[in-house]
Structure 1
């Protein structure tokens, strides 16, 4: 989707950080913005700042862990503007650093409720409505560099949520109609309110990150990336996997005999020819 003029863009967690930066960027392109987040005072502050920039925006309180509230966000958005063109599933959270064996299960469940199920709710609820609407649209899910490798020591729960968002978003891309674009946004270390303030002084400026991301969104890319050094981490993981396969599961003629996609394709072909 190259042109956002008069498009309606809904952003969860859009009152601060990356979400608010996306609100400014889409709004600068002529979009109308709806932001949903937990705290009304922060939402009002965001709307006021957007208004100062000449951006038309509305807000509603939304807890993405509650599907009925995500449904209400969709209702609010369609009622406010008559249509929706883009959903950015951005709301997220982090946990304090801790090893796997010491992380309370309730903490793991809590972060999954926001970072994964929140994205699932937004993808499913808005995806259904965008499909029914039948016009060009887009779903952008905020993953992380941690969707592609493990970048946070003692952060397994957070990293696991972002790996899960990758799987969800790749599946979604295959399943929605062609008129709905899907993208996975993979921020690296970007300034936000999620981490300690002293650490955030070393992070990439939020607006700089979003300007890099918007170029890729307009180009229709699926993997929306930013931090150049990430490729070193990705290559290290890829090389280790390639070495394992070359050593213990090397290619051979007919080796698609147990490949699930190949098998499913052959089974479907048999059904079609029956």
Structure 2
């Protein structure tokens, strides 16, 4: 782990759950924190509970509001070294054909486009900064496997956040890091309290992941039980490739990355 410590951080979904727990850990390390969430008493109380924290109302589904958040953060702090795109909601549950498409699209507006909006609004100014910085996007164990049944909209959105972050990383200069936070089952308000209360305490989760974020890890992880579930998908996938994918001479000619690298070398 590196000794990197951001001077300031912006956390969406910061009024409760993972966002607030991470904010508390950072604040205790002397990081100035701006909490962004929907307006209301929860946001104001969360900011008041942390030394020096600032509250900023924001609906992450609205790009204009996220750009206003970026304006406020840079005006308040002068620079932003850490952005955690964390805001999210539980998705509509049911069999795919029973879900109202409007509900699914509205869910993506928050859980996917909210992350996209954060990256778009903050990145240009973070790129211009001389200081090392990092953007972390909160995905889920559901980015790698289906943790529960009839959660297709939520699971699809979290797969999308993973893909966005992996591609986004390649767009950035070396001093701006991008990573993905992969919570397992954590006690947050995202689902029914009776069920969610059985998950890991959000404070315990934050103590596990914050050192990884400060270490600028690519994948920030917590629950080792996820390892087994990931293998349940990956092992059959690799087996299918072993049994069915062509390995005839010349097959490597179809590797897109190899071709792109070769074209770059020719250009250079």
Correspondence 1:4-15 to 2 at 5 A = 4=5, 7-15=7-15
CA distance in 1 between counterparts of 2:222 and 2:246 reads 34
Correspondence 1:1-274 to 2 at 5 A = 2-4=3-5, 7-50=7-50, 55-272=51-268
Moved more, 91-100 or 247-256: 247-256
**Runs of 4 or more above 6 Å deviation:** none
Moved more, 221-230 or 92-101: 92-101
Report the CA distance between 1:15 and its aligned residue: 0.6
CA contact (8 A) 2:10 2:82 kept: yes
CA distance in 2 between counterparts of 1:17 and 1:2 reads 26
CA, structure 1 residues 212+251, in 2 after alignment: closer, same or farther (shift >3 Å)?
farther
CA contact (8 A) 2:92 2:154 kept: no
CA distance in 2 between counterparts of 1:198 and 1:185 reads 24
Report the CA distance between 1:261 and its aligned residue: 1.1
RMSD: 1.3
CA distance in 2 between counterparts of 1:121 and 1:90 reads 12
CA, structure 1 residues 2+183, in 2 after alignment: closer, same or farther (shift >3 Å)?
farther
CA distance in 2 between counterparts of 1:160 and 1:137 reads 28
CA distance in 1 between counterparts of 2:226 and 2:129 reads 37
SS at match of 1:251: coil
Report the CA distance between 1:250 and its aligned residue: 4.4
CA contact (8 A) 1:2 1:217 kept: no
CA distance in 1 between counterparts of 2:155 and 2:73 reads 31
CA, structure 1 residues 4+269, in 2 after alignment: closer, same or farther (shift >3 Å)?
closer
CA contact (8 A) 2:92 2:104 kept: no
Q: How many residues align?
A: 267
CA distance in 1 between counterparts of 2:251 and 2:174 reads 32
CA distance in 2 between counterparts of 1:24 and 1:146 reads 25
CA distance in 2 between counterparts of 1:60 and 1:145 reads 29
TM-score, normalized by length of structure 1? Answer: 0.94
